[in-house]
Every structure is written in structure tokens, then in C-alpha cells.
Structure 1
Amino acid sequence: MRIDRFLFFIRLIKSRTQAQALLAEGRTRIDGKRVDKPSEEVAVGSVIALPLRGRVRVIRVLCLPARRGPPAEARLAFEEIGEGPPVDGTPAPQ
């Protein structure tokens, strides 16, 4: 599944256009490899790191959703591994 479509289906991004713009910045990674284009493939077990809402979010793909369903259904498609430091470089609160 394309990464832009996956991020839209799991409701981390409001639209595929916004997902494509985020990916064009070049700061998103799949399994440690930089994402160069929105058509990069995501598979079950992939680890995605992306800057979102001022923080770096790291998620693991648990399944590939067939649609953009309700939030409860979307949360079943991934697990939050952790949240990285703020994107602006300020230290995380203790």
C-alpha cells in the first residue's frame, strides 16, 4: 500500500494531499530509509517515523486497512512505538 494512502486511512493525516506534502519534505522514514515519494510501499511490520504536530511519531504497521473507517477501526492498523523529541529541537519535558 502507498504510504500517503496508509497515513490517510489510519487518520494521522486529514487528506492524501496533505500526506503527499508532508512526504515531499523528505523527513519521513520507512524502516530507517528516507521516503522520496508518496508512492513508496508500506507493508505489515514496517516501522514509520514522521514529523507530526511538532513531534516525531514512530509507528509500526499491524495491518493494511481496506478503507478509511472510523477512528476505532483505524487505531487497529498500527501501534505507537514511541514519540521522539520535538521537531524544533527543544528538549522533551521530564
Structure 2
Amino acid sequence: MASKRHAEPMAPAAPAGQRIDKWLFFARVVKSRSLAQKLVQAGGVRINGDKTDNAARAVRPGDTLTIARRDEILVLKIVDPGERRGPASEAATLYEDLSPTREAIAEQKEAAKGKAAPGYQPSARPPTKKERRAHERLRWDGA
């Protein structure tokens, strides 16, 4: 029987990944871990296209995060899990930015602006009292 002192060294295990809230904090996507947890719990983060509300979920290099923030959507591919929250130059090496550019988003919005929903015709004036009552009759008679 071999003693524990002379046991063969174990092979290093594959990295298990890192909590998503820690990674968001290390990559400087948010200012604090608690804000990262709130962002994830609010459903603002997708991992490889799947919504998650668990801030303890592990992410690994190669995973793609889609992050919905106020007026923008970030698409980040994880390159490195990171070990600490360092300077911005170090944080930028943790991911590859796949987000659409602001110009592309503005072009899409501009193209969609001219197209109205089918059957919708905007009016230059508010409805008259008679038109409003007719619309209310249609809405409430079927209920």
C-alpha cells in the first residue's frame, strides 16, 4: 500500500470557469459585483444565446455573452477568465467585442423608421369624439 506522501501527482483539472458576475466585474462591463449580480438577475445577460438569471453560473473561454444595457447591446466572446479587476487595458484582453457598431444600428433604425406596420395609417389629427366612440364600441363589444 502506497503512502499518501508518495502518491503520484494529480493531473491538473480543466478550468471549471468563473462566475459570470465576477467576470463582468473583471472585464469592466459593470462598476461593481453587486451591479453585475443585479444585471444577471434582471435577465440582461445571455450566455451562448440562453437567458440566465443565476449570477453564480460559470462562464468559460469561448462562451459568447449578449448583454443588454440601457441603450446598447454588447456581444462579447470570452477569451480569458481573468484573475482580478485590473486596468482597462488589461480588462480589454479578457474578451473579443462582436457588438454591432453604432453606425450599423443607426442605419437599421433609420431604415425601419420609414416603414409603418401593415394596415396602419397615421393621422395628422386626433380622432373626433364620434370616431373615438366608434373605436371604443369596437373594442368593448367583443369582450
User: Greater strand share, 1 or 2?
Assistant: 1
Larger Rg, first or second structure (1 or 2):
2
- Summarize the alignment of residues 13-52 of structure 1 with structure 2, pairs less than 5 Å apart: 13-52=30-69
Say whether residues 1:73 and 2:90 are aligned partners. Answer: yes
Kindly indicate whether structure 1 or structure 2 has the higher relative contact order, using CA contacts under 8 Å at least 6 residues apart. 1
Compute the displacement of 1:53 (Å). 3.8
Superposition RMSD in Å = 1.6
Structure 1 gaps, min length 5 = 86-91
Compute the displacement of 1:52 (Å). 2.0
Structure 2 length as normaliser, TM-score? 0.58
Compute the displacement of 1:84 (Å). 8.0
Give % identity.
33
**Amino acid in the other structure paired with 1:16:** R
| Residues paired across the two proteins, number | 88
User: Greater helix share, 1 or 2?
Assistant: 2
Closer, same or farther in 2 for the Cα pair 1:82/1:44, shift >3 Å? same
> Take 1:66 and 1:4, find their aligned partners in 2: how far apart are those partners?
13
The residue number in structure 2 matching 1:7 is 24
Structure 2 SS opposite 1:23 = helix
Structure 1 SS opposite 2:39 = helix
Structure 2 gaps, min length 5 = 1-17, 108-143
Which aligned runs of 4 or more in structure 1 are off by greater than 4 angstroms? Answer: none
Compute the displacement of 1:54 (Å). 1.3
**Amino acid in the other structure paired with 1:35:** T
Compute the displacement of 1:25 (Å). 0.9
**Amino acid in the other structure paired with 1:48:** L
